[in-house]
Structure 1
């Protein structure tokens, strides 16, 4: 079981996604996916914010 759960800083929803099949985990370096939505900037060519799929609020990427 993975105890490294992540939560939305606004509504508190768990952002841990479904388990990644064990044979594929080495590709991701993780045991579970993420429910966070990446907000991408074409100008900066990177993810600049995250969005909660439940409440829709955004926060800066750290």
Structure 2
């Protein structure tokens, strides 16, 4: 994950460990705690939200 900490409250956004047998499918070792904000028009995530402080920031 490129951004492991909230840019506002600095909380760790790394989630639980992904089971070994599924890590290849996810392309990662851990889930993320970031909440993805989507756009119907863009059909993708456009922002992230911190589950602790609820602040939002633009997707990289």
Scaled by the length of structure 2, what TM-score is found?
0.93
Q: Which structure 1 residue ranges, 4+ long, deviate > 4 Å from structure 2?
A: none
Aligned length: 59
Shift of 1:18: 0.0
Alignment map for 1:1-62 (pairs within 5 Å): 6-62=4-60
State the SS of the aligned residue for 1:38: strand
Is residue 5–residue 14 contact of structure 1 (8 Å, CA) maintained in 2?
A: no
